[in-house]
Amino acid sequence: MTHANPPHDFKLELPCRPRRLRRSAALRRALEETVLTPAHLVAPLFVHDGPGGAEPVASMPGVERIPLSAVGETCRSLERLGLAGVALFPVLEARLKDAGGSAALDPDGLVLRAIREAKAAAPGFPVITDVALDPYTDHGHDGLLNESGTEVLNDATVAVLVKMAVLQAEAGADLVAPSDMMDGRVGAIRGALDAAGFTGAGILAYTAKFASAYYGPFREAVGSAAAAGTTLLDKRGYQLNPANRREALREAALDEAEAADLLMVKPAGPYLDIIRDLRERTDLPLAAYQVSGEYSQIHAAARLGWLDLERCRDESLLAIRRAGADLILTYFARAYAEARG
């Protein structure tokens, strides 16, 4: 079957033609509604204290666990690229983990030494620290368990998180980031920081952290999955139900009332509607975490030749920014910044 081409002299009577503003690259650039720069991106860093050098994370192409000795130079290089900062995640040896996550309160612990290294090398470069127990526990959960091991204890966990946050602020963290999803932890941390004299230390609250299936590669990277003996650790008792939108709004209202300085949605890409919901409800700065599973699936598809890595990377980040995020934590941060350099 053949199809006749329409005559070239065929004209629609259209006074409004949106394509007029897409005709040239210069016009398209001038009229872009969303701007994404390296200054909107935070680079997560996995830090280990072993004798070796950088260790590749098998499930996250291009991502490494870096030795403590490399933290300073890494921060300097990322600062030169114009990124917004780094988020530190410690990778502890199994022998240092226990049911109570006691290493989290070691005054000479890995993350505290990493903060000091970062600040010594790049004093003005923002450092964000994770406030949760999953890198430190031998069961992989974000808090303390009850005697039967069936439930994460809220208030007892918050008591530990408060001490963690104060230690991190004392070491020089600019923002402490409770990612545990315990009730009341933002207010308790704020009170403790102020009482200890760290009124300038901010709180980046993981406000809407969902019980997502996208965290697997991260758990491999920090070893929390290995500690639990599974990549399918069930955290639905404290992380948000992926089916719920209104619940995220309630969490945001509580964190804002407890004096959080920034709110965050995690994961980012599958939850763009939640980012937009929070953007329309709060005047606080809003962050989003493009998590390990989002990063890894883009790389996996690109390796199979199914999509263009750089274009999909950039589009995924732009979508998060367009939805309303002021900051994006992403493992693409360095590559994106280098491509813009």
Residues 74 and 66: beta-carbon distance below 8 Å: yes
Q: What angle do CA 209, 210, 211 make, to 5 degrees?
A: 130
DSSP characters over 8-62 = TT-----S--GGGGGSSHHHHHHT-S----GGGEEEEEEEE-SSS--EE-TTSTT
What element of type H or E holds 207? strand 202-209
Which among 213, 235, 176 has a CA at the least distance from the CA of 292? 213
Question: Is-catalytic flag, 266?
Answer: yes
Alpha helices in 101-153 (DSSP H): 110-121
Among 97, 119, 235, 266, the active-site one is 266
Q: Which residues pair with 175 in a beta bridge?
A: 128, 202
Among 97, 119, 209, 235, the active-site one is 209
Alpha carbon distance, N-terminus to C-terminus of the chain: 52
Question: Is-catalytic flag, 209?
Answer: yes
Residues 166 and 152: beta-carbon distance below 8 Å: no
Residues 119 and 71: beta-carbon distance below 8 Å: no
Q: Name the residues annotated as catalytic.
A: 209, 266
